[in-house]
Amino acid sequence: MSSFLKFDVSAIIQGYTQGYFLMADEDGKNLGWYSSRQRTLIPLDERFHYPRSLQRVLNQNRFTVAVNRDFGAVVRGCANRDTTWISPELQEIYWALYETGWAYSFETWQGDQLAGGILGLAVGGLFIGESMFYQISDGSKVALVKLVQWLRSRQFLLFDAQMMNPHLARFGAYVVSDRDYQILLKQALRRSCRLE
């Protein structure tokens, strides 16, 4: 049986389009909807930048990019941490969203080896970055740079990274109030964009 039959996918997408996001608690038993007074965005304009050392990696063309080449491996990679909010149930939900065309993995590959990836949802002109991971050094950083280029070329308006961390700050991520986020969210949802 397909996993999407177990979940109300339309209700889940509706939750995300209202500005909420799903997380499990630390022991992974309770899954719930969360919101925040502040939201972290990755800029899709000239404010996006990255460390100079990464430009050398990009120039070397060490990695190729793919969308949904191995969605399951990216979900498992993102969840494979000592402490994770991606519980087994949430992994099933991501799979259901993938099967119904809402969830995506944006991946970097080195030959036949998955180097890194970003797990996210695409709705209208909104991309919600849920998590990222790497198996090869710089794999996720290159994925982020290439994903921003990919979203720009497809006219996406909003790249929601949910919560700030030092890694995202190095790429120009910035924080907006929930009020400003809701305005941008409505604008993004009016667009008709396709990730693939």
- 63-82: per-residue pLDDT in tens? 999 999 999 999 999 999 88
Mean per-residue pLDDT, 92-115: 97
Q: What is the mean pLDDT of the chain?
A: 94
pLDDT at 28 over 80: no
CA-CA distance, 184 to 193, in Å (whole number)?
15
Q: What are the residues facing 106 on neighbouring strands?
A: 67, 118
- pLDDT attached to residue 82: 82
- pLDDT attached to residue 23: 92
- pLDDT attached to residue 5: 57
Go through the domains of the chain in sequence order and give each one's CATH number: 3-189 (3.40.630.70)
CA-CA distance, 177 to 58, in Å (whole number)?
33
Q: Select the more confidently predicted residue: 4 or 28.
A: 28
- pLDDT attached to residue 91: 95
Mean per-residue pLDDT, 173-189: 97
- Cβ-count burial of 175 within 10 angstroms (0-12 exposed, 13-18 middle, 19+ buried)? middle
Mean per-residue pLDDT, 107-132: 98
CB-based contacts of 43: which residues, under 8 Å, 6+ apart? 159, 172, 173, 174
Mean per-residue pLDDT, 169-195: 96
pLDDT at 1 over 50: no
Q: How confident is the model at residue 196 (pLDDT cuts 50, 70, 90)?
A: confident
Mean per-residue pLDDT, 120-135: 97
How many other β-carbons are positioned within 10 Å of the β-carbon of residue 179? 8
pLDDT at 159 over 70: yes
